Amino acid sequence: MKIVIDDVEKTFKGSKKSDVTALKNINFAIREEEFVALVGPSGCGKSTLLNIVGGLMSPTNGEVYFEGMEKKRPNLGIVFQEIALFPWRTVYENVIYGLQEQKFSNQKQKEIGDYYIDMVGLNGFENALPKQLSGGMKQRAGIARALAIEPDLLLMDEPFSALDEQTRTLMQEELLTIWNRTKLSTLYVTHNIQEAVYLADRVIVLSRHPGQIKRIIDIDLPKVGRKAEKYRTQFEEYADQIWQLIRHDAAVALKEGG
Ligand SMILES: Nc1ncnc2c1ncn2[C@@H]1O[C@H](COP(=O)(O)OP(=O)(O)OP(=O)(O)O)[C@@H](O)[C@H]1O
């Protein structure tokens, strides 16, 4: 199975001002068990592209399809920056939400719910309400909920950007551990270059106005232990290469206010 993003274009119709072409000529595929990061300056269309891949928005031209899949509709796991947990549901009830929707038996819900709560390290907090959780724990609950439906594709839009730096670093490490267990095809939006190099198999760099693919970079480093001393030079070279590609557009975005 692979997810094909085929010549996607998105133009937002302006009211008084002219139309905004947010994305143009976007062509790539997410392979089975591949982690793809999407990076680019503010306003390059990262979120728009993720929304289109997730079917939350239609492209103006082109299409997204799941190749080699027998089911009619793919299962999608979505994790946003601000996880929208149901405030009146406990952690457990939030995690099994998608399973209830899909009419899984109570026993199956419990089995899968417990498995993913354990995977994200929320044991002991099953009965807590979201307001009792820290930011990092909320994100973990959201990730468990997205994983519980065993999605064909995991979509993550800046999932850790609202967290403090230490929590964020820990969550990146945890995500990598989880990913190594689940090996889910993942599209991950971030403006953090280090995060992209740390997590991804491939990094897609977008330019802005219109958002186009500037370069696709294979991160040829082992998934585990990527931050080890012996890879430091290569890691920094990848990060620098990406920054050089983004730098000019990021400076323009800063002047224009995004
Ligand atoms: N609903 C909309 N109507 C009009 N223009 C839009 C709409 N949504 C996004 N845009 C424009 O499309 C472009 C891409 O926006 P998008 O939010 O996808 O970028 P982004 O890369 O995710 O930005 P950021 O990193 O700041 O979150 C921007 O120029 C934005 O102003």
Over the stretch 247-258, which tens digit does the pLDDT of each residue have?
988 888 888 865
Domain extent, residue 47, equals 1-74+181-258
Q: Mean pLDDT lowest for which of 105-109, 132-136, 251-255?
A: 251-255
Residue 112 in tokens: 């899968």
Pocket probe mutation, ligand 1, options 10, 46, 156, max atoms within 8 Å of Cβ: 46
Residue 5 in tokens: 């993003």
Ligand 1 atom 31, closest CA: 43
Average pLDDT over residues 212-230: 93
Ligand 1 atom 4, closest CA: 12
Average pLDDT over residues 20-38: 95
Q: What is the pLDDT of residue 19?
A: 86
Q: What is the pLDDT of residue 214?
A: 95
Ligand 1 atom 25, closest CA: 42
In the structure, what pLDDT confidence band is assigned to residue 234 with cuts at 50, 70 and 90? very high
User: pLDDT, tens digit, for every residue of 147-189?
Assistant: 999 999 999 999 998 888 998 899 899 899 999 989 999 999 9
In the structure, what pLDDT confidence band is assigned to residue 146 with cuts at 50, 70 and 90? very high
E strands present in 135-235: 153-157, 186-189, 202-207, 212-218
User: Could you identify the atom of ligand 1 that is nearest to the CA of residue 44?
Assistant: 21
Q: What is the pLDDT of residue 15?
A: 65
C-alpha 222, offset from chain centre: 20
User: Could you identify the atom of ligand 1 that is nearest to the CA of residue 206?
Assistant: 21
Q: Does the C-beta of 46 come closer than 6 Å to ligand 1?
A: yes
Give the CATH number of the domain where residue 17 resides.
3.40.50.300
Number of domains in the chain: 1
- Label the pairing between strands 202-207 and 35-39: parallel
- How far apart are alpha carbons 234 and 149 in whole angstroms? 36
In the chain, the percentage of residues whose pLDDT exceeds 70 is: 98
Distance 22 CA to ligand 1 centre (A): 7
Q: Does the C-beta of 81 come closer than 6 Å to ligand 1?
A: no
Q: Does 171 fall in a domain?
A: no
| Cα-based angle 150, 155, 156 (whole degrees, multiple of 5) | 120
Q: What is the pLDDT of residue 256?
A: 80
Q: Does 142 fall in a domain?
A: no
Distance 11 CA to ligand 1 centre (A): 10
- How far apart are alpha carbons 211 and 144 in whole angstroms? 31
Pocket probe mutation, ligand 1, options 26, 39, 48, max atoms within 8 Å of Cβ: 48
Using the predicted structure, report yes or no on whether residue 220 has a pLDDT greater than 60.
Answer: yes
Q: Does the C-beta of 26 come closer than 6 Å to ligand 1?
A: no
In the structure, what pLDDT confidence band is assigned to residue 138 with cuts at 50, 70 and 90? very high
Q: What is the pLDDT of residue 224?
A: 85
Ligand 1 atom 23, closest CA: 43
State the average pLDDT for the chain.
92
Average pLDDT over residues 39-54: 92
Q: What is the pLDDT of residue 18?
A: 79
Distance 216 CA to ligand 1 centre (A): 21
Average pLDDT over residues 18-22: 87
Q: Does the C-beta of 41 come closer than 6 Å to ligand 1?
A: no
Q: What is the pLDDT of residue 43?
A: 86
In the structure, what pLDDT confidence band is assigned to residue 210 with cuts at 50, 70 and 90? confident
Q: What is the pLDDT of residue 84?
A: 82
Q: Does 92 fall in a domain?
A: no
pTM of the model: 0.93
User: Could you identify the atom of ligand 1 that is nearest to the CA of residue 48?
Assistant: 18
Average pLDDT over residues 235-240: 97
Average pLDDT over residues 3-7: 96
* Amino acid in the structure at residue 235: F
Q: Does 188 fall in a domain?
A: yes
Q: Does 37 fall in a domain?
A: yes
Average pLDDT over residues 29-55: 94
Other beta carbons less than 10 A from residue 104's beta carbon: 18
Task: State in Å, rounded, how far the first CA of the chain is from the last one.
Answer: 36
Q: Does 105 fall in a domain?
A: no
Q: Mean pLDDT lowest for which of 76-85, 186-195, 198-207, 238-247?
A: 76-85
CB of 120 within 8 A of CB of 181? no
Q: Does 109 fall in a domain?
A: no
User: Could you identify the atom of ligand 1 that is nearest to the CA of residue 12?
Assistant: 4
Q: Does 111 fall in a domain?
A: no
CB of 138 within 8 A of CB of 85? yes
